[in-house]
Amino acid sequence: MTSGTTVIATSDLAKHFGDVQAVAGVDFDVCDGELFGFLGPNGAGKTTTINMLTGLARPDAGVIRIAGIDCSRNPKAAQHLIGVVPDESNLYPELTGFENLSFCAALYGMRQAQREQRARELLGMFGLRDAAERKFAGYSKGMKRKLTIAAGIIHNPRILFLDEPTTGIDVAAARQIRQLIADLSGAGTTVFLTTHYIEEAQRLCSRIAFIVSGRIIRIGTVEQLMRQAEGRHVVEFAVAGGAAGLCAALAGAFSHLQCQALSEGAVRVDSAEPVRIGPVVRFLEDHGGEVAEARKVEPSLEDVFVRVTGIEASAMKREKEKAGASA
């Protein structure tokens, strides 16, 4: 659905907070109609980047252009074109769902009849019609997230920024939200999405940037990124008696293997050469593990992410889920 026109362009964008270099010179372009993903762990600089692009934070350096408008000096210049869904719901707890949407529409200058119609339409689309007259404070987490997304698109923005839209909500609600994002993108909205779910980025995004410690490590379409996995060999071992603790030892003993613990009882190894299963199984068993199964699997985007960033995807997910549960 992309037309090739660049609608978001940054160059050398940087931002620090005290000693922390939150964003350290990022460059990327997003084309009209594209669904672009920013994938990275906690503290990578995803939210800071969105804040700079949307006018909530001032960059220390760099250039931002939104739909051709230079927003580096005047962050308000392009705000009429964008919708923002923050990582935490920021609607008014004392207003009902309907009132919240109507109010947000008014902020973009929509007239009363138009805003009420649009609010009703979105409440229906997000399955919140029955909760329309209930106060936002009493919504469940998933409902809050949906209404926050609805508020972000109330004025039919040309560009939508979504900061971790599916973190901390249940599987069914997350699936629904992913479908809504895909539909929005299908209808021509440019979407800038941050996430720490690799599968989510892979499934939804046309292009992905891996961001770690404020830097973009890799950027490309899913196919381009997956090409880095070509010729790689991946084997998963199911280990009774716990495997997570053996990962480091395994990597130490077999320097050509990249190891990551998928769960307490599963290890995934990735190598440029075919993996000789025998020595690995013997090593695991000698160190107290009992290997129940070993199978070759197709390399995934997750393997690419782990290899280029050195970050264990499962650790990233666990950390996030903890943060989501405590939020």
Partner 1 sequence: MKRWIAVWNILAKDMRSYYLKPPNISWGLLFPLAWTGMFFIKSGAELDGVRGLLPGLVSVSVLFGTTSMLAVTVTFEKKGRSFERLLLAPIPLELLMLAKTSGAMLFGVANAFVPILMAAFLTDLSGVVWSAVVPAIVLIAVASTFLGLFIAVSASEVFEAQTLSNFFRFPMIFLGGLFFPVQHLPAVLRPLSYALPLTYGADVLHAGFCARGQMPLGLNLLVLTAFCAGLFVLSLRNIRRKWIR
Ligand X SMILES: Nc1ncnc2c1ncn2[C@@H]1O[C@H](COP(=O)(O)OP(=O)(O)OP(=O)(O)O)[C@@H](O)[C@H]1O
Residue 212: how many CB atoms within 10 A of its CB? 19
Angle of helix 313-326 relative to helix 301-309, nearest 10 degrees, comes to: 90
Distance separating alpha carbons of residues 184 and 207, to the nearest angstrom: 16
Look at the block and give the residue holding tokens 């393997």: 303
58 binds partner 1 (CB under 8 A): yes
| Residue 190 and residue 8 in contact, taking contact as beta carbons nearer than 8 Å | yes
- SS3 state of residue 172: helix
The binder of partner 1 chosen from 10, 47, 49, 54 (CB under 8 A): 54
Binding status of residue 40 toward ligand X by CB under 6 A: yes
Q: Tokens for 8?
A: 């978001």
Pick what 79 binds: partner 1, ligand X, Mg ion, none; C-beta below 5 to 8 Å, kind-dependent. Answer: partner 1
Which residue number, 104 or 306, has a Cβ lying nearer to partner 1? 104
Q: Give the residue, chosen from 15, 32, 39, 47, that forms a contact with Mg ion under the rule CB under 5 A.
A: 47
Closest CA to 101 of 118, 87, 125: 118
Binding mask 196-225 for ligand X (x = CB under 6 A): x-----------------------------
Among all chains, which residue has been given the structure tokens 């906690």? 42
> Which residue in 20, 42, 56, 292 binds partner 1 (CB under 8 A)?
56
SS3 category, 148: helix
Q: Does 41 bind partner 1 (CB under 8 A)?
A: no
Establish if 48 lies at the interface with ligand X (CB under 6 A): yes
Q: What residues between 115 and 154 interact with partner 1 by CB under 8 A?
A: 151
197 Cβ neighbours under 8 A, 6+ residues apart: 166, 167, 317
Contact mark string toward ligand X, 17..36, x via CB under 6 A: x--x-x--------------
Containing 69, the helix (H) or strand (E) segment is: strand 69-70
Which of ligand X, partner 1, Mg ion, none interacts with 22 (beta carbon under 5 to 8 A by kind)?
Answer: ligand X
Report if residue 214 touches partner 1, rule: CB under 8 A. Answer: no
How far apart are CB 210 and partner 1 at their closest, in Å? 27
When asked if residue 209 is in the footprint of partner 1 (CB under 8 A), the reply is no
Q: How far apart are the first and last CA of the chain?
A: 36
Please answer whether residues 103 and 96 qualify as being in contact, where contact means their C-beta atoms are separated by less than 8 angstroms: no
167 binds Mg ion (CB under 5 A): no
Report whether 47 contacts 10 (CB < 8 A): no
Q: Which residues contribute to the site for ligand X (CB under 6 A)? A: 17, 20, 22, 40, 42-48, 87, 196
List of residues contacting partner 1 (CB under 8 A): 54-58, 75-76, 79-80, 82, 84, 86, 88, 90-95, 103-104, 106-111, 151
Give the binding site for Mg ion (CB under 5 A).
Answer: 46-47, 87
